[in-house]
Structure 1
Amino acid sequence: MEVEFQHSCCKHDEDLLIRYAGVSSYTIDPVGNGRGTDLGALILDEILPHEDGCSHEIACWDGTLTIVCRDLQATWTETACSRES
Structure 2
Amino acid sequence: MVSSESTVQESSTLTGWYKSSYSGGGTPQDDCLEVARGHATIPVRDSKRPAGPALAFSPGSWSAFVAAVRRGEFGA
For the criterion TM > 0.5, the same-fold answer is: no
TM-score (norm 1): 0.32
Larger Rg, first or second structure (1 or 2): 1
Higher helix share: 2
Instruction: Write 1 or 2 for the structure with the bigger share of strand.
Output: 1
Q: TM-score by structure 2 length?
A: 0.35
> Relative contact order: is structure 1 or structure 2 higher (C-alpha 8 Å, sep ≥ 6)?
1
